[in-house]
A = this chain, B = another copy of it.
Amino acid sequence: MKSLIECIPNVSEGRRDDVVARIAESAVRAGPGVILLDRTSDKDHNRSVFTYLGDGPALVRGMTALVGAALEEIDLATHRGAHPRLGAVDVIPFVPVRGATSADCVALAKELGKSLADRYGLPVYLYEDAASSPERQNLANVRKGEFEGLAAKMKEAAWAPDFGPSAPHPRGGATVVGARAPLIAYNINLGTADLAVADRIAKAIRHLSGGYRFVKAMGVKLEARGQVQVSINMTNYEKTPLHRVFETVRSEAERHGVLVVGSEIVGLVPAPALFGAAAHYLRLEADPGPQVLENKLLDLAFSSKAE
């Protein structure tokens, strides 16, 4: 395994456990080199998120198999759920992890898009770093109108798919494939029950309303704790780092007489995001990454596997 890439397909089924399991396993059974790291389902959303790790060719093969399995099991014409979706397999991002670049992931997204169109007659849109035009970068734009509005949307020249026919797959709709930086889900909890404070801080830090370029944020009420939370998606921790967002939230909260009582990372986090925070606060003069013992172990582990 020379390079390591993460692939996180979002599938429009979150209620039938046996079906979810079969779809998740189909990617692993397609051949060696694909590992299922995590899977979570949401019944309200009627949606599941799988996290795979592997090398590029193995992931393209695995994701092709996964879409095939999903098209057998899922019929979007009868699918209902709280989460917006365009396809039976709604979105498949590739994320570079180790020894791989964004460009590598863009190439994989295109390869997979072509494979899905050729094999299943499925329309495919490319998004984020793989997008063929600026208005396709944002997933929300591509998904607007959802499955139910897709047939009409596809008739517009601006929304011709990047691969496959200009009509929805009858059961599977369309799939959005792309490449992006690792995403960190990061929540900061405030010592107040006043949702307006969290909302105001979310507005201050998010890109949409004048905040940081790679931050999405909203205020959330934590009923059981009697607190509120600034719920954040960090879409590029290298360019907008954790510590900078944390310090801005802290400063904005204090302006309202409110303290940050804690923070939490949801799901996986790349080690360099935490090294960056340590380096900032400890005023380290050099990036500590090359000196981290565990990085040397990873180098050894994955270089010996490449032989």
| A293 engages B97 (CB within 8 Å) | yes
Bound Cα distance A86, B237 (Å): 50
**A246 nearest CB neighbor, chain B only:** B282
Q: A residues 270-297 with Cβ under 8 Å of B? A: 270-271, 274-275, 277-286, 288, 291-297
> Interface residues of A: mostly helix, strand, loop or mixed?
mixed
Residues of B near A21 (CB, < 8 A) are none
- How many copies altogether? 2
Q: Is the CB of B277 within 8 A of A261?
A: no
- Residue of B265, B270, B285 near A263 (CB, 8 A) is B285
Report how far A6 CA is from B265 CA in the complex, Å: 31
Asked if A268 contacts B288 (CB within 8 A), the reply is no
Picked from B267, B277, B305, the residue with its CB within 8 Å of the CB of A278 is B277
Query: Are B242 and A282 within 8 A (Cβ)?
Result: yes
Cα(A278)–Cα(B263), bound, Å: 11
Q: Within the assembled complex, what's the spacing in Å between the Cα atoms of A301 and B303?
A: 11
Contacts of A294 in B (CB 8 A): 270-271, 294-295, 298
Do A269 and B288 form a contact, CB below 8 Å, given A97-B293, A296-B37, A301-B302?
Answer: yes
User: Residues of A within 8 Å of B, CB-based: how many?
Assistant: 48
Q: Which of A213-262 contact B (CB under 8 A)?
A: 242-243, 246, 260-262
Bound together, the chains give a CA A189 to CA B278 distance in angstroms of 16
A-B contact pairs, 9 of them (CB 8 A): A37-B296, A53-B296, A243-B282, A263-B283, A264-B286, A274-B274, A277-B277, A280-B281, A298-B301
| Chain A residues with a Cβ under 8 A of chain B | 4, 6, 35, 37, 53, 97-98, 182, 189, 242-243, 246, 260-265, 267-271, 274-275, 277-286, 288, 291-298, 300-302, 305
